[in-house]
Structure 1
Amino acid sequence: MGAVYLVRHGQAPAHAYGVGEADPAAPGLTELGFAQARRTGELLARLVPTFDAAISGDLPRQRATLFAVLEAFDERPAHEVDADWDEYALPASLMTTAADLYADRAAYQRVLDAGLNGWIAGTESGEETFVEFLARTRAAAQRAAALAGSGRNVLVTSSAGTIGLLIAQLWGIPPADWPAVSRTFVNASITKVLVGRSGLTVVSVNEHGHLAADRIATFR
């Protein structure tokens, strides 16, 4: 039996979410985000002797998190990029309001949830449909699982929406309830999925006690 460790990216700057102007030279994470990812790497190094594969999505915050996590390991597998682990893009109607609302977390979340509900129902457009997002998340998980043979450990760094959607699929949670699952994920938290003959089995979700203990846990 193998295992896939899914790590949500560390805290990212606002422009990573399409809010404000992005500096092409800016790092994918904030200073706190790097600290979160390194602390998660330290915990994983106590739990896992080595990773046999290391995968990230193609977003800067996901790549930066993977490299920061792996700093805790003497032996590091080659970095593999699988863009199917990327986060969903904001629905089109939110792109014009995101910058104004991002500073007010509660207001931003209300508008985001409304936009996501429309996207899931097919009444809100985006760069991809929700059905396409669902399919690519499932495909990415299957590819990671294929690398997690008997006794093998795979590291994946992704985002809350993508990891949350995978967990929702594995637990049979209706698509309409997926956003509520995703917004509980803490930056640099760990979700563990076992890979066996019967398929994928979730054994832990959103582990972040190591971050909370040092008071560096954040949601955004």
Structure 2
Amino acid sequence: MALIYLVRHGQASFFNSDYDKLTELGIQQSKIVGRALEERKLYASLFASGSLYRHQETANHCLNELGVKDEPAISNNWNEYDHIELLSKFNPEYANFSKLNNDIRSHPAPLKKLQDILNQSISDWMDNKHDYSLSWQDFKENAWIELENIAASLSSRENALVFTSGGPISAIVMKAMKLQDEQFIDLQNRIINTSITKILVGKSGLSVSTYNDYSHLEHDFGLVTYR
């Protein structure tokens, strides 16, 4: 039985103008997950990553800890949806990042305010309320197709290690577990930076073995982040 390990990227710089870059904490998380996988004696024959910088940074730090020199295969299908586009469709003023930043920081509970805005923009996207460069349906299908392609390339007892984002992971878990679209937001909101979701590749198809495992971070609560 083959296994596909889906690793969410480390903490990114959400409140900075260049979000697509790991924070110092994100780098630390990426190294820790690499060491944890090394302790588990993980052997992977295939490595893949989204094309976003935070994916590739996470991959580099993790694989260095594993002693792996292979370059991950890059695919846009492992990328997160464009949250800037979703936010700007939801509220055109948010095309100016400083406006969004100011609205969030001026709120008594900035992180809750941010989550509420993101959730509303995702709901609009899922309901196809605006014209988006990538539809919700295509986003879901792309992630699943990419997973199937990796599964098809694995022999029995081989493993794959994939560096991606919370959105593709949640879409995959949702389909594998036959959940409704309405549960996507809740699934995604629970995913911790550098958490591991394992997909079993068996004769009966693809199934979820573990979801959002972040036990490698639990020794220090300060390492546990959602964004």
1:120 is aligned, of 115, 126, 139, to: 126
1:192 is aligned, of 192, 195, 198, to: 198
2:71 is aligned, of 70, 74, 78, to: 78
Q: For 2:190 and 2:3, how far apart are their aligned partners in 1? A: 22
On the 8 A contact 1:50/1:76 being kept in 2, the answer is no
- List gaps (5 residues or longer) in structure 2: 95-99
Q: What residue number does 2:97 align with?
A: none
SS in 2 for 1:50: coil
1:93 to 2:90 alignment: yes
SS in 2 for 1:183: helix
1:219 to 2:219 alignment: no
Tell me how far 1:6 sits from its aligned partner: 0.4
1:45 to 2:38 alignment: yes
SS in 2 for 1:54: strand
Q: For 2:131 and 2:93, how far apart are their aligned partners in 1? A: 14
More helix by share: 2
Q: For 1:22 and 1:94, how far apart are their aligned partners in 2? A: 20
Q: How many residues align?
A: 213
Q: What residue number does 1:3 align with?
A: 3
SS in 1 for 2:10: coil
Tell me how far 1:60 sits from its aligned partner: 0.3
On the 8 A contact 1:5/1:156 being kept in 2, the answer is yes
Q: For 1:140 and 1:154, how far apart are their aligned partners in 2? A: 12
Tell me how far 1:212 sits from its aligned partner: 2.0
Name the Cα RMSD after superposition: 1.8
- Any idea what the Cα deviations from partners look like across 1:110-151, whole Å, max 9, x if unmatched? 121112112111113322110111111111111221233211
Q: How does 1:154-165 map to 2 (within 5 A)?
A: 154-165=160-171
Q: Which amino acid aligns with 2:122?
A: L
Q: For 1:67 and 1:136, how far apart are their aligned partners in 2? A: 24
Tell me how far 1:20 sits from its aligned partner: 4.7
Q: For 1:101 and 1:84, how far apart are their aligned partners in 2? A: 31
Pick closer, same or farther for the CA change 1:172–1:29 going to 2, 3 Å. Answer: same
Q: For 1:12 and 1:75, how far apart are their aligned partners in 2? A: 23
Q: For 1:36 and 1:20, how far apart are their aligned partners in 2? A: 19
On the 8 A contact 2:200/2:206 being kept in 1, the answer is yes
Q: For 2:91 and 2:174, how far apart are their aligned partners in 1? A: 24
Q: For 2:185 and 2:135, how far apart are their aligned partners in 1? A: 15
TM-score by length of 2: 0.87
1:69 to 2:76 alignment: no
Q: Which amino acid aligns with 2:128?
A: G
TM-score by length of 1: 0.90
SS in 2 for 1:193: strand
Tell me how far 1:101 sits from its aligned partner: 4.2
On the 8 A contact 2:90/2:124 being kept in 1, the answer is no
Tell me how far 1:50 sits from its aligned partner: 2.1
1:56 to 2:26 alignment: no
Q: What residue number does 2:140 align with?
A: 134
Q: For 1:61 and 1:43, how far apart are their aligned partners in 2? A: 20
- List gaps (5 residues or longer) in structure 1: none
